[in-house]
Amino acid sequence: MAVNYRKYYLPILIWSIFSLSGCGNDIFGMYASTDLDTRWQARNTFNFLSPNDLNFSLGDTYSFIVLTDTHIYNGNTHGLERLKDAIDDDVKFAVFTGDITQNGNRGDVKAFIEIARSLGVPCYPVLGNHDIFFGHWPEWKELIGSTCYRIDGGDSTFLIMDSANAYFGAKQLDWLEDELRKTTGRVFVFSHNNLFMENLKDIRQLTDTRERARVISLLKGRCDGMFMGHAHTRMIREFGGVAYIAIEDYRENAAYCRVWVSQDNVRWEFRKL
C-alpha cells in the first residue's frame, strides 16, 4: 500500500523551525543577520568601550563575572540592575556573552549601556544572534562597535569573539591564532555560541565541526577557559587542559559565574541573584 508522505510535511516543517531557530526556540532566530564579513571590517570600532577599558593592569590576583542571555526586551531588563549587588572590590570587570537584547532594538541596547555604566566596572559585550535580528547590526555598530576584540589586563589576555551566526569564519580564526601567539600569561576566550551539545536537540548550538576542532586545537595548552552562552543551560567540558563553560541564562535564572584568578590557579563558582 502506498504511503502518503505529504501529510507529514507540515509537522516536519514546524518541528524544524522550532528546533533550528536559535536559543529559546524563538522562531525569529531564522532571521538573524548574516553580515559577518561586514562586522569583521568594523573590528577596530569602539564606541562603548574606551582605550582604558582595553588595556589596563589587573595584578596577579583578581576576579571577574560572566553572564549571558539577558534578553532585554522593550525596556524589560529582567532585573539586570541587581548585578551591582554581586560586584565587590575584588571584581574587576564583567563579560556579557551575547543575546544581551531580545531582538537588537536600539532602545534595549541603550538600556544595557545605561546599566553597564552604572556597575562601576568595565563591562564587555559579546554579540549574540538575537542582538542582530531584523538587520540591527548598524545599531550595535553605532552604540557599541566591534564584535571581535582583545583586552589586555596586564599579564592576562581576554579575547572576545563573534559567533552570532553559529560560525567564526576563517578570518576570525586566523586572528585568534595570531593573538594567541602574542600571549604569555593567562588567556580567556568568550563567545556566544556553544561549541558542544548535551543532547540531539542541542545540535543547533554547534558551530561548524571543523571550526570547533580548530578552536580546540588552537586553545590547547594556551587558554585557561572559554566561556559561552546561547544554550540557556550550564555545561562544562574539558579538552587539552582548557575548561569550556556554558552558563545558564540570566533572563530566567538570574545566573552568573564568578571567576577567581591567581598565579597558582583559576577557579569559578556558579551563583544566582
What is the residue extent of each domain of the chain?
33-272
Q: Please report the DSSP string for 119-134 in residue order.
A: SSS-EEEE--GGGGBT
Q: List, for residues 129-175, the tens digit of each pLDDT value.
A: 999 998 999 999 999 999 999 999 999 999 999 999 989 999 999 99
- One CATH from 3.40.50.720, 3.30.379.10, 3.40.50.2000, 3.60.21.10 for 33-272: 3.60.21.10
Q: Is residue 87 scored above 80 in pLDDT?
A: yes
pTM of the model: 0.88
Neighbouring residues of 143: CB distance < 8 A, sequence distance ≥ 6: 47, 48, 106, 109, 110, 113
pLDDT at 20 over 50: no
Rounded to the nearest 5°, which phi and psi values hold at 16? -65, -45
Least confident of 14-23, 26-35, 113-122: 14-23
Give per-residue pLDDT as tens, 28-55.
444 455 689 999 999 999 999 999 999 9
Q: What average pLDDT does range 110-131 have in this prediction?
A: 97
| Contact indicator for 223, 242 with CB cutoff of 8 Å | yes
Strand partners for 242: 239
Q: What is the mean pLDDT of residues 197-218?
A: 74
**65 C-beta neighbours (distance < 10 Å), count:** 21
Closest CA to 188 of 236, 228, 227: 227
Give the residue ranges of DSSP H helices in 58-208.
106-118, 137-143, 170-181
